Amino acid sequence: MSLPYLPFTRPSIDEATIAAVADVLRSGWITSGPKVREFEQKLSEMFAGRPVRVLNSATGGMEIAMALAGVGPGDEVITTPLSWVATGNVILRAGGRPVFVDIEADTRNIDLSLAEAAITKRTRAIMPVDLAGLPVDRDRLNALAKRHKIRVVEDAAQSMGAHWGGRLIGSFGDLVSISFHANKNITSSEGGCLVLNDAAEARQCELHRLQGVERFADGNMDATLAGGKYNLTDIAACIGLGQLPHMQQFTARRRQLAMRYFELFDRSLGCTLPVVDLQQSNWHMFQVLLPEGVARGDFIAGMHAAGIGIGVHYPAMHLFTLYRELGFREGQFPLAERVGRSIVTLPLFPAMQDSDVERVCKAMTAVLRVPARRAV
């Protein structure tokens, strides 16, 4: 009688991909090899021929991007507090200073006017995030970076398949980092890629990716920088390769489901819906803000009791202990704080049925209408 549990997201892996992974496992070569090269080639073709290197996570890719952008001790990097904490952490790990600025109320993305006003002589880079796959204005972003001669490290972790001005995110710009984490629109279980500017930068990325080691034909080797260990396995690359042919169809289906949410959503509940963007967003997530006064924990528990998974992406990171210890305080970024307190991610993934959207909307009405669920 009771319906199956509906998670907030689930990857779609086809049988051909599962068989291809089994072939990799049987091949005797399971770490970085031919599948990694093929994955990089396919991604590069998608991204207008720009060089692409795959990595074991987007976090690793952003750490390398920090090094390539020359972010070091004392350097400032401007970014949004409303992101996965990796965005801020990679700046800290490079020895840099995250300079947060508030978001726009409608897009929930970094406010570029505030970003421009925050630029100082120590600003090395700006790191925009396309929350839920809704792109930051790339025309304004890239013009701003050019005007002030700063680097752009796009935390495009959620942006696979999103567009700006008809162009695929990743196919233009400066350094672009995309994630293939299990929850992202295209997955390799874990993994990511960095889109680079030229062959020299791609070579530097390779060195950072694997201990800075250069190998020579005679079997000798040398190390020229203290690289890390960020290489992707052929097993993971094979999963990613199996996903790419489905990207357009995945995005189209996500868009349809988002439209269904807009159609069916009970507006009388007082939730704030995302902006309607059916052109450029990849609909990585469908996120609403709960009305002020509704305890998010109670809402999540109520939905869970109805068999529906709800995500939280994300609390404003400047209020985490690590960032408070650096001097950040409540009240500094009121819009990000308001969104971070009340945002919830509703189920949205390509294999979902239209009836699942109805189920979520009905459950929301039931859960939010119960007066006892309102915090005092």
Ligand X SMILES: *Cc1c(COP(=O)(O)O)cnc(C)c1O
Instruction: Find the binder of ligand X among 109, 123, 158, 287 (CB under 6 A).
Output: 158
Element (H, E) at 66: helix 58-68
CB of 371 to ligand X, least distance (A): 35
- The nearer residue to ligand X, 86 or 367, going by C-beta atoms, is 86
Helices (H), the chain: 15-27, 34-46, 58-68, 86-93, 112-117, 138-148, 199-209, 234-243, 247-264, 296-305, 321-324, 334-342, 354-369
Q: Say how far apart CA 299 and CA 367 lie, in whole Å.
A: 7
Contact in structure between 240 and 186 (CB atoms under 8 Å): yes
- The nearer residue to ligand X, 129 or 238, going by C-beta atoms, is 129
Q: Is residue 240 a contact point for ligand X (CB under 6 A)?
A: no
The footprint of ligand X on residues 163-192 (CB under 6 A) is: 179, 181, 192
CB of 124 to ligand X, least distance (A): 19
Contact in structure between 286 and 346 (CB atoms under 8 Å): yes
- The nearer residue to ligand X, 85 or 295, going by C-beta atoms, is 85
Instruction: Find the binder of ligand X among 9, 57, 109, 280 (CB under 6 A).
Output: 57
Q: Is residue 133 a contact point for ligand X (CB under 6 A)?
A: no
Beta-bridged to residue 256, according to DSSP, are none
Q: Say how far apart CA 170 and CA 46 lie, in whole Å.
A: 8
Q: Is residue 315 a contact point for ligand X (CB under 6 A)?
A: no
Instruction: Find the binder of ligand X among 32, 44, 59, 231 (CB under 6 A).
Output: 59
Contact in structure between 87 and 127 (CB atoms under 8 Å): yes
- The nearer residue to ligand X, 193 or 368, going by C-beta atoms, is 193
Residues with active-site annotation: 184
Q: CB-hemisphere CA count at 13 Å for 160? A: 29
- The nearer residue to ligand X, 83 or 231, going by C-beta atoms, is 83
Contact in structure between 235 and 30 (CB atoms under 8 Å): yes
* Amino acid identity at 318: H
Instruction: Find the binder of ligand X among 9, 44, 87, 251 (CB under 6 A).
Output: 87
CB of 190 to ligand X, least distance (A): 6
The contact set with ligand X (CB under 6 A) reads 57-59, 83-84, 86-87, 129, 155, 157-158, 179, 181, 192
